[in-house]
Amino acid sequence: MPKSETPILYIVIPCYNEEEVLPVTAPLFRQKLLDLRAAGKVAETSRVLFVNDGSRDRTWEIISGLAASQPEYEGVCLSRNRGHQNALLAGLMDCRTRCDITISIDCDGQDDINAMDAMVDAYLSGCDVVYGVRSSRETDTAFKRGTAQAFYRLMERMGVETVYNHADYRLMSSRALVALAEFREVNLFLRGMVPLVGFKSTSVYYERHERMAGESHYPLSKMVGLAVDGITSLSIKPIRLVTFFGLAASLVGLIGIIWALATWAMGHTVSGWASMVMVICFFGGVQMLSLGVIGEYVGKTYLETKRRPRYIISERTEEEPERTEEG
Ligand code: UDP
Ligand code: MG
């Protein structure tokens, strides 16, 4: 598929209770779009698309106002708060048929918008996915930095492929989005899903700034939630760990049996004690092991019910056939 010379760009921005920061950052995003347009890198019809994630404050009024005042702004509103990942996906899926590329970014100004030039350049030179990667985390608190790094390491341990220090600031081409649409999972962890989509990708490095206004919506509880979703929707290693513990427990149980037998043989026991301990030890181990094995199948079924595509075709020598529902 040939790349568009001047692609239609949609900057997709999820917003949740951002009335303080939106009036500050929205003009910056628009200006970036106009600059890219003036440089001849993106098409006239490029837009800034805000997704209001069921905000309780005036965010949606602000977005509506922006859209009424300038043709470059668009907005969609979710029926309720669904969380950052879902809001972002909603925006990407909404515009995927009327754009050539999207760049997703948070609305708080923490991610450097000047990295967008390099992202579009990377697209024009043949990449379908361009990851924005933080070159440093100096502006984050030590706690946020520490927990985030522990998170990336844990993800890696669990076998989930993610791009280190990349959040959701990334460029995706429309065909990468069409492929992403085939991933039907409900528990979203886009950072882990996008690498699975494949296609040619690269990274662009930038400095992370402080939030321009307002507060973070990712307290520790949400970060933990995101980590659990990320792991359980992309890896079944935890279930394997249960099997492993079951095996270990069975071994300990065996030792317990030998010990109980020995104690009995030496005559240090009241009658019935040894047999009871043996039974407890044995069944404790066997039950854990069985749970793990069953869990393994439950995990497999779980991954299957997501009905992910088994492969995604990225190139053809012949014309692409008519798309069907199954893709
Ligand atoms: N966000 C959202 N829904 C939520 C929480 C956050 O759409 O339920 C948006 C938020 O408006 C922002 C982005 O997700 O644009 C990242 O959130 P935030 O800046 O609070 O997180 P942090 O940068 O501190 O990790
Ligand atoms: Mg932020």
pLDDT tens per residue across all 327 residues of the chain: 445 579 999 999 999 999 999 999 999 999 999 999 999 999 999 999 999 998 999 999 999 999 989 999 999 988 888 889 989 998 999 888 889 999 999 998 889 999 999 999 999 999 999 999 988 767 777 887 888 888 888 888 888 888 888 889 999 999 999 999 988 877 778 988 899 998 999 999 998 877 777 777 777 888 788 777 777 777 778 778 878 888 888 888 888 889 888 988 888 777 777 778 778 877 887 787 778 777 777 877 777 777 655 445 445 444 655 544 443
- Amino acid 314: pLDDT: 47
CA distances to 45, 156, 292, 300 from 231, rounded to whole Å, are 38, 10, 17, 14
Sole residue written with tokens 């800034």: 48
Taking the centre of ligand 2 as the mean of its atom positions, its distance from the CA of residue 207, in whole angstroms, is 13
User: Measured in whole angstroms, how far is the alpha carbon of residue 124 from the centre of its chain?
Assistant: 25
- The residue whose C-alpha atom lies closest to atom 2 belonging to ligand 1 is 84
Sign of the torsion formed by the C-alpha atoms of 226, 301, 153 and 104: negative
Residues 112, 29, 218, 148, Cα dihedral to 10°:
-20
With beta carbons less than 8 A apart as the criterion, state whether 75 and 51 touch: yes
Pocket of ligand 1 (CB under 6 A): 14-16, 18, 53, 81, 83-84, 87, 106-108, 110, 216-218
> Two tokens at 79?
């029926």
Among left, alpha and beta (phi > 0; psi -120 to 50; other), residue 261 is alpha
pTM above 0.75, yes or no: no
Nearest ligand, CA of residue 16? 1
Q: Residue 98, Cβ neighbours under 10 Å: how many?
A: 13
Residue to probe by mutation, ligand 1, list 84, 105, 220, most atoms within 8 Å of CB: 84
Give the DSSP per-residue string, 311-322.
------SSPPPP
Taking the centre of ligand 1 as the mean of its atom positions, its distance from the CA of residue 292, in whole angstroms, is 36
Residue to probe by mutation, ligand 1, list 62, 149, 215, 217, most atoms within 8 Å of CB: 217
Taking the centre of ligand 2 as the mean of its atom positions, its distance from the CA of residue 265, in whole angstroms, is 67
Helix axes 237-265, 273-305, angle to 10 degrees: 170
> Two tokens at 307?
């009905």
- Amino acid 324: pLDDT: 44
User: Measured in whole angstroms, how far is the alpha carbon of residue 151 from the centre of its chain?
Assistant: 12
